[in-house]
Structures are given as C-alpha cells and as structure tokens.
C-alpha cells in the first residue's frame, strides 16, 4: 500500500500578504508593503487595535502578532499601518483554496489562510511530493501574488508541524523517519495543542522538548494532564490518523464575543452589547438550521480577569429574543454591577436540529407565540440577506451609537459578502 502524502499549505502573513498582493497586482501600486516595516491592525483609537499580521522588516523591530498597536508604534514610529479588509481576505482565501483543489480534490480548509491537501497517488500528475509542493508554491506566487509554506508528511499533524519550520516561502518535509532528527529537538511549546498552561505543567515534570515528551511515561501524563496528556504524547511520537476531510465538521457550538470601545459599567450598557451578540449568534444558528439548549456568558474585566457562567434552557431555540432573554438572566446573576467590563461573549451549545420547548400553564407563552417569533426572525434574516444588515435594527439601537450586530466575526465574514476582485488575483 502506498504511503499517504499530506500537504499542509499556509499563506505567509496572510492578511498583510493578501493586502499587498491586491495593492500591487490589482491597484498597480509601486510600493510593496511586504518590503517595508508594516502591519495590519485595527483603528488606532479602538481597543481592537492589535497586530493581526506583520511584514518581515517589521519583525526585525521585535513587533509581534497579537501585541497592541501602540506598542508596535513605539518600537517603530515609521511603521506603515493598514486596516484589515475582510471582504478582500474572504475572496483571497476562496482563490487560494480553489488553487489547491486544482492539485487534488481532497482539500480540508483549517482556517482562512491554511489547508491540508491529500496528495496521495498524484505522483504521475505532479511528480515527487517535494516537486509537487514546489510547483504548488510557485504557481500560487505567479498567479495569486503571495507566498506560502508547504509542509509534507504522511499525516496531518506532521505536515502541519513541517509547515511551521523556517518561513517564509519554503517547502519542508517531516516523514516518520525524520521525526527524531527534525522534530524531537524542538521546544515542547512548538507542539500542536501545547499552550502556555500545558507547557508549564510539562516543565514541572522536567519535560522541555518534544523528544522528552515522546519518551515520557504516558500513565504519568494522563494522571497530571488527563486525556490531553495522552493526546499530546501521541502527537510527540508523530502519531495522527485523521483523514483529510474536504467538508468542514459540523459546529459543536455558536459563539461571539466583542471588546467594547469603553468600559461597560451599567446593566443597560451590558444588555445592549449582549443583544448585539445574540443577533449574530442566532442568525448563524438559523442559517445552519441549528438550535441551542445551553447558554454561556463570558466576561472579561478591565483588569483582564475572566469569568463565565452557563445555564441550561427549558428547550432548544434559535430565536433571538429568547436567547437574549436567557443571556440577560445569566449575566444579571453573575455580574456584581460594579466591576467595569471590557469584553462580553455569548455562546450556545447543546445543539439540536429541531427546536423544542417545555411550556407551562403559568408562563403565559403559547406555541403560537413561539411560532410567530421564529417566523419574524426568518423574515428579518431574509431582509438582511437581500439588503444588508443595516436595513433593519431593533429599537434599542435606534438612538444609541454602536454596532447592532457585533461579535468575533466581521460583517464580511458573517455574510460572505465580498468585494469584486479580478480573477487574476
């Protein structure tokens, strides 16, 4: 049986690269922002102003993805700052995945800027795995105008780890026979699914490298880290049998969060933010034909302390008003009414394909009323799909500034609306 060949393809500094490619290839600009210290970041006046992507020259100033923009400007006062354009990124991502599907039909998109490609059995079409990867890398650059890293292995995990080796614009292999030499010497934090908290626990066990983790006693790891300990032990040994899945996995939950422009200090302010979040969460659930039976509220204070609380509902729903009512109830139970908040989040889990409701005689809510709410939401969704999200908004936002539909997804990514981009991009 032929060995599996899996590629992991990752666009280098995607948001900045896609912006640069659009400016150069489509708008005809002479200066390529990839060649100067530059970043993609939000509005300087907003608390959303963090670095989303950086150029290689910006990296030389010590600028890091995820750091506040004001800190980056202190490091490099002449830094070129470009605001994110999610309509462009959605379109660039679509072209990127379409290009990968020209090499193999088995493409699993992992995020907006990375994907796995099952290249097993394609040697007669594209040559050896490395040669095929070089052809893919070069074609993406020639036709789409941005660079990628390609990791090659016999499974998805090792392909992804290989793709994270030296960047940008490189092809790397990490087959099982190369694990000991290329993989095991790396810091344990470099391993997929090992975060800061797990790294600290592993170091307390004297485990600093991926190789030390691979050779550790799995029983000890399970005792200290639970099931996650066994998972990362298998990963450290290069084991992963997951197939490339061309269709995305079904959501296990729907959630959105937003960082507010000013601290939230009243229940009225908080309820407005929660309503805007419930609008987008419920809209996404209805679009996918899902209902939720458990709601979670996540809060972050202005001192960056995080806490959350959840409640099981009496049924499963995707009706905005019902989700909002539950969100307010949970929020009012958990917030002291004093501590300033900078971030609020709403999440719905316990998903069901069909709505259901437990009615009681004293609630005054009839099945007919619930049915009318569902039909109303569907009508609002149809209007927003046709004329845009701002065509209709709730009265609560009529006299109040701020987004009436907010959350972790930009409007372009929520709706899939994209700007017209020439085919050659």
Regarding predicted confidence, which is higher, 151 or 315?
151
Q: Is the pLDDT of residue 100 over 90?
A: yes
| Stronger pLDDT, 68 or 368, i.e. the higher one | 68
What is the model's pTM? 0.66
Same domain, 296 and 398: yes
User: 18-54 burial by CB neighbour count: b if 16+ within 10 A, else e?
Assistant: bbbbbbbbeeeeeeebbeebbbbbbeeeebebbbbbb
Q: Are residues 326 and 396 in the same domain?
A: yes
Which of the residue ranges 45-49, 52-56, 187-191, 305-309 would you say has the lowest mean pLDDT?
45-49
Q: What are the backbone angles phi and psi of residue 208, rounded to the nearest 5°?
A: -120, -25
Check whether 151 has a pLDDT greater than 90: yes
Domain presence at residue 161: no
Per-residue model confidence as pLDDT tens digits over 366-383: 566 667 777 877 887 787
The answer to whether position 374 is within a domain reads yes
Catalytic position from the list 87, 114, 389, 403: 114
The β-bridge partners of 10 are 114, 149
Determine which helix (DSSP H) or strand (DSSP E) holds 138, and give its type and residue range: helix 129-144
* Same domain assignment for residues 277 and 352: yes
Identify which has the larger pLDDT, 175 or 195: 175
Indicate whether 199 belongs to any domain: yes
**Paired tokens of 396:** 């609560």
Mean pLDDT, rounded, for 253-272: 87
Mean pLDDT score, 172-179: 96
3-state secondary structure (DSSP) of residue 258 = strand
Give the residue-averaged pLDDT of 136-160.
Answer: 95
Is residue 418 over pLDDT 70? Answer: no
Q: What is the pLDDT of residues 23-32, one digit of tens each?
A: 998 889 999 9
CATH code (residue 408): 3.30.1490.100
Domain match, 265 and 352 both: yes
Q: What is the pLDDT of residue 416?
A: 41
User: pLDDT-derived band of residue 250, with 50, 70 and 90 as boundaries?
Assistant: low
pLDDT of residue 307: 86
415 pLDDT higher than 90: no
- The mean-pLDDT minimum among 106-120, 339-353, 364-378 falls in 364-378
48/178: higher pLDDT: 178
pLDDT for res 348: 92
Contact 202, 213 (CB under 8 A): yes
Q: Could you tell me the pLDDT band of residue 422, with boundaries at 50, 70 and 90?
A: very low
Q: Are residues 276 and 303 in the same domain?
A: yes
In the predicted structure, residue 414 carries a pLDDT above the cut 50: no
Residue 269 has pLDDT above 80, yes or no: yes
Domain tally for the chain? Answer: 3
CATH number (domain holding residue 189): 1.10.150.20
**Per-residue model confidence (pLDDT) at position 412:** 43
Range among 39-43, 178-182, 259-263, 419-423 with highest mean pLDDT value: 178-182
CA distance 394 to 278: 12
Peptide bond into 152 cis (omega under 30): no
pLDDT-based confidence at residue 45 (cuts at 50, 70, 90): low
Neighbours of 76 (CB within 10 A): 17
114 catalytic per annotation? yes
Q: What tens digit of pLDDT does each residue of 200-232 get? A: 999 999 999 999 999 999 999 999 999 999 999
Residue 26 belongs to some domain of the structure: yes
- Same domain (yes/no): 63, 211: no
Helix axes 218-225, 227-236, angle to 10 degrees: 140
- Range of the structural domain that residue 224 is part of: 184-236
6, 153 in Cβ contact below 8 A? yes
């Amino acid at each position: 049986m032929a060995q599996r060949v899996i590629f992991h393809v990752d666009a280098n500094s995607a948001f900045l690269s896609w912006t640069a490619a659009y400016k150069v290839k489509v708008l005809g600009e002479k200066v390529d922002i990839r060649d100067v210290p530059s970043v993609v970041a939000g509005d300087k006046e907003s608390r959303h102003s963090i670095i989303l992507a950086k150029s290689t020259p910006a990296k030389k100033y010590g600028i890091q993805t995820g750091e506040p923009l004001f800190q980056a400007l202190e490091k490099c006062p002449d830094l070129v700052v470009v605001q994110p354009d999610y309509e462009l990124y959605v379109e660039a991502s679509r072209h990127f995945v379409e290009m990968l599907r020209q090499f193999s039909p088995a493409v699993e998109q992992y995020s907006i800027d990375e994907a796995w490609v099952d290249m097993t059995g394609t040697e007669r079409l594209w040559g050896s795995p490395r040669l095929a990867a070089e052809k893919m890398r070069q074609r993406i650059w020639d036709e789409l105008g941005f660079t990628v890293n390609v990791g090659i292995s016999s499974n998805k995990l090792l392909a992804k780890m290989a793709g994270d080796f030296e960047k940008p614009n490189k092809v790397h292999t990490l087959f099982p026979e190369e694990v000991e030499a290329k993989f095991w010497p790396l810091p344990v934090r470099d391993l997929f699914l090992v975060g800061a908290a797990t790294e600290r626990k592993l170091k307390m066990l004297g485990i600093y490298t991926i190789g030390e983790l691979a050779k550790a006693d799995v029983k000890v790891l399970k005792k200290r880290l639970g099931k996650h300990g066994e998972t990362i032990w298998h990963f450290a040994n290069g084991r992963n049998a997951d197939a490339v899945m061309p269709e995305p996995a079904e959501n296990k939950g729907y959630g959105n969060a937003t960082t507010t422009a000013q601290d939230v200090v009243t229940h009225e302010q908080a309820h407005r933010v929660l309503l805007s979040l419930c609008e987008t969460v419920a809209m996404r659930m209805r679009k996918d034909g899902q209902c939720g039976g458990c709601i979670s509220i996540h809060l972050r204070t202005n001192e960056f302390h995080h806490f959350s609380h959840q409640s099981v509902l009496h049924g499963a729903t995707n009706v905005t008003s019902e989700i909002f009512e539950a969100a307010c109830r949970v929020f009012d139970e958990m917030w002291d009414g004093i501590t300033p908040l900078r971030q609020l989040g709403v999440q719905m889990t316990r998903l069901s394909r069909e709505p259901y409701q437990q009615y009681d005689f004293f609630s005054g809510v009839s099945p007919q009323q619930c049915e009318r709410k569902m039909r109303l939401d569907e009508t609002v969704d149809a209007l927003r799909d046709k004329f845009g999200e701002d065509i209709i908004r709730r009265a609560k936002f009529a006299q109040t500034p701020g987004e009436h539909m907010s959350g972790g997804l930009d409007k372009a990514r929520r709706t899939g609306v994209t700007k017209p981009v020439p085919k050659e991009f």
